[in-house]
A = this chain, B = another copy of it.
Amino acid sequence: MTTSSANLSWQDIQKYVMTQIRAGSWKPGDAIPNEADLARDLGCARTTVNRALRELAAEGLLERKRKAGTRVAKYPTRRAKLHIPLIRDEITESGREYRYQRLAFEPEVAPVNLPDALKGCPRIAYVEALHFANDEPFVHEARWINTVAVPAKDHNEFADISANEWLVRNAPFTEGTLEFFASDVPADVATHLQCAPGSAVFNAKRQTRAQTQLVTVVVLSYAPGYRKLLAL
């Protein structure tokens, strides 16, 4: 193990660790050797071992604590990386043609029927839109924008460009939350998605804030049959 001439990469170290775990040499809950020992035994710098183990810990496979050392996670669940693409990209990458249609725009919406997060925002704009894939309704978008945080400029009121694309370019955000849920399709949305009333639809609700200030809330309702794929 120490006899290799070429330097070991941090990915080699990861492979080594994964092999031990998969083979059962290191079981969930077990402590594994410390960085210094691993570096000496495998024949590389501790920095290299550190990077390998640090990233495995970030993925949920290992648990590390100073002084206590590194252990195989009791339940080594891999964390999934969720890439949230632009709707445009999600459609074009599957080889279909993208089209955007604005359904409604209100520069200042009355403070009724608002998502909770928007309570207390003095000025809110509302945009409703449809995204098509090959001229079939793909997803319905309902969006509220805090126009105090994001002054509306010459954005043509999102007639031709998705509010999402405009926002992501003009208000790069720092934090947010995302939630997925299923629901019966609301009556008005059913019309736009051209699906039967009462169909089960997949929804994503996203809140975005810059610093502490809420920027936008958006609810996406996907046409029936949609599946959100993730890699583990």
Binding site for B on A (CB under 8 A): 18, 21-22, 27-28, 60-61, 72, 74-86, 165, 168-169, 172-184, 198-203, 206, 208, 210, 222, 224-232
Contact = CB atoms under 8 A, between A and B. Distances in A.
Contacts of A75: 86, 165, 168-169
17 contacts: A22-B174, A74-B169, A75-B86, A75-B168, A76-B168, A79-B82, A82-B82, A82-B230, A177-B229, A177-B230, A178-B230, A180-B230, A181-B226, A181-B227, A182-B201, A182-B202, A184-B199
Among A76, A78, A198, A224, the most chain B Cβ lie within 10 Å of the Cβ of A78
Number of copies: 2
A193 B79 CA distance: 28
A27 B170 CA distance: 8
Contacts of A201: 182, 200
A190 to B, nearest CB: 12
Nearest to A205: B227
Given A200-B183, A200-B201, A178 B80 contact: yes
A65 B93 CA distance: 22
Given A22-B174, A28-B172, A79-B81, 18 more contacts: A28-B168, A75-B165, A76-B172, A77-B86, A77-B168, A81-B81, A178-B230, A179-B228, A179-B229, A180-B202, A180-B228, A181-B202, A181-B226, A181-B228, A182-B183, A182-B200, A183-B200, A184-B200
